[in-house]
Amino acid sequence: MLYAILCYHDEAVTGAWSKDEDDAVMARLAVVHGRLAVQGRLGPVARLLPTTAATTLRKDDPPIVLDGPFAETKEQLLGFYVVQAVSLDDALSIARELGEANPGGAYEIRPIGTFHGNTVTP
Amino acid sequence: MSDLAWIEAALTSARPQALGALLRYFRNLDTAEEAFQNACLRALKSWPQNGPPRDAAAWLIMVGRNVAIDDIRKTSRHAPLPEDAAEISDLDDAEDQLAERLDGSHYRDDILRLLFICCHPQLPATQQIALALRIVSGLSVKQIARAFLVSDAAMEQRITRAKSAIAKAEVPFETPGAPERAERLAAVAAMIYLIFNEGYSAGGDSADVRAPLCEEAIRLARLLLKLFPAEPEIMGLAALLLLQHARSAARFDAAGALVLLDEQDRSHWNGAMIAEGLALIDKAMRHRRTGAYQIQAAIAALHARAAEPEDTDWLQIDLLYGSLEILQPSPVVTLNRSVAVSKVRGAQAALDMIAPLAERLSNYFHFFGVQGAYLMQLGRNDDARISFNRAIALAHTSAEAAHIRMHLDRLMEESKSGCRMG
């Protein structure tokens, strides 16, 4: 089944990484991504821009537009993966692999109910 | 990432909040800095063993405060302690409590105050920037000296002077009211823009060492925006810096000469920075409260949106510069506007537009560079040569001079081939 792996970390910390550190993390992640892709287990991957770029639409009546992310939290949603895993344990092992390449923060592993395939490109 | 790299990133990101709170507490910059330093040293010892605390800033504030109070006690038994100085023994409980209090209203004003004291009006701009980089960003004197291309000793002296000026000046510690807060915000935004320009205006030969100034300015702009997420001018500032810095890899050629916007390889522009900048300017525009940063960001956004130079919406850029002239009249703004005018209405119209500026910009490199370019477009090569020569005499960086020399060489080539033909 499909799982979403939601990536949380303090964006002030990831924003304080030097370019070299950032590049090193991305290079290590690319290795894990490559392995998962070869196994046919890697779906869409997204790294989100900082929460300062976020806008929230509160679906009140009438809806209101708010600047900033939905929730002010100590750690922010900074990206997500969609992966194919046979069980929670399997999904956790994928998350552990990703976590070794990119330590710090937390992953929320969330089973996906409905998924529509990717038809958009950046 | 090694433990050390992770901890350093955590300390850097916690610095403004922790130092801001310690400053509010001790009301003395040196004491606050020392307390923060000591807390960092303890973090380097404790975090690798015990793991990172849930709230790094709260941990640093607590430890920094306790260490400093201990020191005050040791050095002077009878010295009065700052009020509310009860030592807190159980760090975990205290961390929770403190974090709760900090998440409230204080930390926003703490960080703003920390930034604001760096832009005290009595300090010249160069000292403001140096101080902010040292205190808020936590760059070492050596790093700052390198970025400013001065010796360590000279930078040390500049920062010491700035600090002693601030120690003598009145620093406002009470929570600011709305008008004061808006004033502080504007002053801090201007300082962040100055930091960025220090890095951005560097020439090709020094661009690498000064680029960190641009990155630091962007980090500070993002920090400010996080504190004031609904301020359109702060969105505009962050967008402007991101959109300009996005072009940095394309702004100089291999020899270090400046490459103008029209001639830049747009595939070297940084897509993620452009996306973030465009997102921010979109958000800002929704507020319908215009401002100088937003207009400049909107102009940068029009350049960023053009896949090829000829796709640039110069008419819109001309209009935006028109609004900027009204909001913030300056000969430099008019000079910039003339570039858009030259694209929309031709070089003669642009030349007419800048003619009245000649006296006020008589020492300005870009005035003569731009004037020379218009004259060249009109085929007035002798006049163009005079302008370019003046520009070279006024160039601040070798990249600027190299760029103008390229024009002169082109004129020379033209006149040579003209002679041969004649």
- Give the CATH number of the domain where residue A102 resides: 3.30.70.1060
Average pLDDT of chain B is 87
CA dist B224 and B237 (Å) reads: 10
B19-35: per-residue pLDDT in tens?
A: 999 998 888 888 999 99
State yes or no: pLDDT of B73 exceeds 90: no
Residue written as token pair 């807390």: B39
**Do the domain assignments include residue B40?**
yes
The amino acid at residue A118 is: N
**Do the domain assignments include residue B58?**
yes
* List of E strands, B22-171: none
CB pairs A-B closer than 8 Å: 61
Size of chain A in residues: 122
Q: What is the pLDDT of residue B203?
A: 64
**Do the domain assignments include residue A104?**
yes
| Contact at CB, A104 and B275, closer than 8 angstroms | no
Q: Which of B139, B222, B273, B280 is best to mutate for the A interface (most A CBs within 10 A)?
A: B222
CB B409 within 8 A of CB B262: no
User: A43: domain range?
Assistant: 2-111
DSSP strand pairing (A55-58 vs A76-84): unpaired
**Do the domain assignments include residue A99?**
yes
Confidence of residue B85 (pLDDT cuts 50, 70, 90): very low
| Contact at CB, B223 and A21, closer than 8 angstroms | no
What average pLDDT does this structure show over B231-253? 95
CA dist B176 and B174 (Å) reads: 6
Read off the tokens for B157.
Answer: 């002296």
Q: Which helix H or strand E contains B305, and what residues bound it?
A: helix B292-305
State yes or no: pLDDT of B343 exceeds 60: yes
**Do the domain assignments include residue B371?**
yes
State yes or no: pLDDT of B121 exceeds 90: no
State yes or no: pLDDT of A18 exceeds 90: no
The residues on A that touch B, with CB distances below 8 Å, are 10, 12-17, 19, 21, 24-25, 49-53, 55, 65-68, 74, 103-104
**Do the domain assignments include residue B346?**
no
**Do the domain assignments include residue B402?**
yes
**Do the domain assignments include residue A46?**
yes
- Closest chain A residue to the Cα of B7, Cα to Cα: A13
Read off the tokens for A1.
Answer: 């089944």
**Looking at the structure, do residues B52 and B126 belong to the same domain, yes or no?**
no
| Contact at CB, B54 and A15, closer than 8 angstroms | no
Say which residue, B422 or B109, is predicted with more confidence: B109
Q: Which of A74-78, B272-276, B359-363, B400-404 has the lowest mean pLDDT?
A: B400-404
CA dist B173 and B166 (Å) reads: 13
Q: What is the DSSP letter of B103?
A: I
Confidence of residue B152 (pLDDT cuts 50, 70, 90): very high
The amino acid at residue B102 is: L
pTM of the full structure? 0.86
CB B196 within 8 A of CB B217: yes
**Do the domain assignments include residue A51?**
yes
**Looking at the structure, do residues B137 and B63 belong to the same domain, yes or no?**
no
Residue written as token pair 């004291």: B117
Q: Which helix H or strand E contains B157, and what residues bound it?
A: helix B152-168
Q: What is the DSSP letter of A7?
A: E
**Looking at the structure, do residues B162 and B221 belong to the same domain, yes or no?**
yes
Instruction: Examine the fold and report which residue of B203, B228, B253 is the final residue of a domain before the chain moves on.
Output: B228
What average pLDDT does this structure show over B384-392? 95
Number of independent structural domains in chain A? 1
Q: Is some CB atom of chain A closer than 8 A to the CB atom of B142?
A: no
Number of independent structural domains in chain B? 3
The beta-carbon contacts of B313-319 under 8 Å, at least 24 apart in sequence, are: B314/B340, B314/B343, B314/B344, B315/B340, B315/B344, B318/B344
Confidence of residue B327 (pLDDT cuts 50, 70, 90): very high
**Do the domain assignments include residue B45?**
yes
| Contact at CB, A65 and B286, closer than 8 angstroms | yes
CA dist B370 and B377 (Å) reads: 11
Interface predicted TM-score (ipTM) of this complex, two decimals = 0.88
**Looking at the structure, do residues B418 and B368 belong to the same domain, yes or no?**
yes
User: Which of B:273-302 have CB within 8 Å of A?
Assistant: 275-276, 279-280, 283, 286
**Looking at the structure, do residues B3 and B63 belong to the same domain, yes or no?**
yes
Residue B236 CB coordination number (10 Å): 30
Confidence of residue B418 (pLDDT cuts 50, 70, 90): low
A56 beta partners: A66
* CATH for B384: 1.20.58
Residues whose CB falls within 8 Å of the CB of residue B271, separated by 6 or more in sequence, listed in order = B246
**Looking at the structure, do residues B63 and B163 belong to the same domain, yes or no?**
no
Q: Is B329 helix (H, G, I), strand (E, B) or coil?
A: coil
Q: What is the pLDDT of residue B94?
A: 53
CA distance B220 to chain A (A): 11
Which of A65, A66, A103 is the closest to B6 by Cβ?
Answer: A103
What distance separates the 2 farthest-apart alpha carbons in chain A?
Answer: 47
What average pLDDT does this structure show over A24-48? 96
State yes or no: pLDDT of B422 exceeds 50: no
| Residues from chain A contacting residue B238 (CB–CB below 8 Å) | 52
Q: What is the pLDDT of residue B367?
A: 96
Q: Is A66 helix (H, G, I), strand (E, B) or coil?
A: strand
Which of B13, B14, B276 is the closest to A50 by Cβ?
Answer: B276
| Residues from chain B contacting residue A104 (CB–CB below 8 Å) | 1, 6
What average pLDDT does this structure show over B205-217? 80
What percentage of residues in chain B have a pLDDT greater than 70? 90
User: B9: domain range?
Assistant: 1-17+29-72
Rounded to 5°, the CA angle A70-B237-A75 comes to: 30
CB B47 within 8 A of CB B4: no
Q: Is A108 helix (H, G, I), strand (E, B) or coil?
A: strand
CA dist B239 and B337 (Å) reads: 20
| Residues from chain A contacting residue B270 (CB–CB below 8 Å) | none
CA dist B205 and B211 (Å) reads: 11
CA distance B385 to chain A (A): 43
Residue A21 CB coordination number (10 Å): 17
Tell whether omega for the bond before B329 is within 30 degrees of 0, i.e. cis: no
Q: Is some CB atom of chain A closer than 8 A to the CB atom of B223?
A: yes
**Do the domain assignments include residue B91?**
no
